[in-house]
Amino acid sequence: MAKIKRIYARKSSAEAGMIISLLKSNGFNPLDIDSSSHIFFAGADLFYYVQIPEQEYEKAKEFLIKNNFKDII
């Protein structure tokens, strides 16, 4: 099983969905939001995480930075 790595975090599911859509349309394989980990426990974590297979992380990171999405985690 491929390891998964977080690449981006947004405070809304719509923003995370936009990043996921952008990555998918450019040949990457991010997890869908409904299968990504999103834990909200007493206000401790308010972010939606975009996750991607570890082997795609570096290329996806370069792609996002090149397209002015610089909030890589």
> What is the distance between the alpha carbons of residues 26 and 36, in angstroms, rounded to a whole number?
19
Q: Classify 56 as helix, strand or coil.
A: helix
Residue 46 lies inside a defined structural domain of this protein: yes
pLDDT tens per residue, range 2-51 = 799 999 988 888 999 999 999 999 999 999 886 555 555 555 667 888 99
In-domain check, residue 71: no
Q: What distance in Å separates the CA atoms of residue 63 and residue 12, rounded to the nearest whole number?
A: 22
Inside any domain, residue 73:
no
The total number of structural domains that make up the chain: 1
pLDDT score for 11 = 83
Domain assignment present for residue 48? The answer is: yes
DSSP symbol at 72:
B
Q: CA distances (Å), 71 to each of 5, 10, 15, 54, 57, in order? A: 15, 9, 12, 18, 14
**Which domain does 56 fall in, by range?**
4-66
Residue with tokens 């795609």: 56
